[in-house]
Amino acid sequence: MLPLLPLLPLLLLLLPAAHGAVERVGYTPSLTKSPVLEGLTTGSTFVLDQPRCVFDKYSNADIWLVVALESTAANFSNSVAPGTAESAFQNFPDSVPAYMTLNATLANYPCPKPAGDITVLRVGSETSCSGDAARPTCNGPLPGPGPYLVKFLALEGSEPVAETGWSQPIMLRTAKSSNSISTTDGGHSAGMIALTTILSILFAILLAGLVAMFVFWGSDACGGSSTFSKPEAVSVRRYNTHHVYDQPAARL
């Protein structure tokens, strides 16, 4: 009996492992590529493609989404049960490495995907339950910019049976302060500079003309020949002066 005793715990350990081998399906969750979405990543949400035609063998399984930070993903264990404090959204990322949300069955992800349908999962869309500890599977808004890793985990009962790989790191958007917008870098347009210059020159010429008018008030600066008279001015007529005509000698 004695030599068997150390083997017993080993056998006990091996038994569950042999029973629950988690199949790794060849699918990596990714952000939606088609159609192009403006809100693909926002400050607290991101949009994933639904895992269609991935878990086809597991028609009885619940498919959960596991969300973790890149730095904590390695600490997540597949044996954590959904809907408990160890996988609660409200405890992420303070006391749990990842949370599980967006519970679905294969019926929610029919295969093949109908053409023209937009099949996405918006992570972070449920704002009403984000503080409610009674809703640990809440799909609440993400608490920071990330980077996040996600994977899908299929559970039959409470046994994990299949999982996808971890996704690429997903960074969310961070907002800059509106004070950082500079409003003084406009500069002056060429039109405005031309307009100002030309108008200033014209005004200067007019002022110079006004000064010239006053300086030459009364004097015929332009010369007598260009002086013109008012309409009612009297015109000077030439008078013939009387003089004695020289009589021809024949008249005498």
Partner 1 sequence: MAKSEDCIHILQGLLVFGNVVIGMCGIALTAECIYFVSDPHGLYPLLEATENDGIYAAAWIGIFVGFALFALSILGIIGIIKSDRTLLLVYIILMLITFAFEMASCITAATHRDFLTPNLFLKQMLERYQKAEPANNNDKWMTEGVTKTWDKLMLQNHCCGVLGPSDWQEYTSAFRSTHNDADFPWPRKCCAMDAQGLPVNLDGCKLGVPGYYNSNGCYDAISGPVNTHAWGVAWFGFAILCWTFCVLLGTMFYWSGIEY
| CA distance linking residue 144 with residue 124, whole number of Å | 11
Residues whose CB is less than 8 angstroms from the CB of residue 23 and which lie 6 or more positions away in sequence, other chains included: 161, 162, 163
Tell me the HSE value of 247 on the side-chain side, using a 13 A CA sphere. 4
| CA distance linking residue 91 with residue 84, whole number of Å | 10
> Position of tokens 């961070």?
174
CB nearer partner 1, residue 78 or residue 130: 130
Minimum distance from residue 233 beta carbon to partner 1 (Å) = 7
CB nearer partner 1, residue 53 or residue 221: 221
| CA distance linking residue 213 with residue 209, whole number of Å | 6
CB nearer partner 1, residue 2 or residue 222: 222
Minimum distance from residue 43 beta carbon to partner 1 (Å) = 4
CB nearer partner 1, residue 183 or residue 247: 183
Binding site for partner 1 (CB under 8 A): 35-40, 42-45, 47, 118, 120, 122, 124-127, 141, 173, 175-178, 180-183, 185-189, 191-192, 195-196, 198-200, 202-203, 205-207, 209-210, 212-213, 216, 218, 221-222, 225-231, 233, 235
Minimum distance from residue 239 beta carbon to partner 1 (Å) = 18
Minimum distance from residue 245 beta carbon to partner 1 (Å) = 31
The Cα diameter of the chain in Å comes to 193
CB nearer partner 1, residue 14 or residue 207: 207
CB 146 within 8 A of CB 172: yes
Minimum distance from residue 216 beta carbon to partner 1 (Å) = 7
CB nearer partner 1, residue 37 or residue 80: 37
For residue 63, with 0-12 CB atoms within 10 Å meaning exposed, 13-18 middle and 19 or more buried, which class applies? buried
CB 161 within 8 A of CB 58: yes
Minimum distance from residue 132 beta carbon to partner 1 (Å) = 15
CB 28 within 8 A of CB 149: no
Provide Rg for the chain, Cα atoms: 48
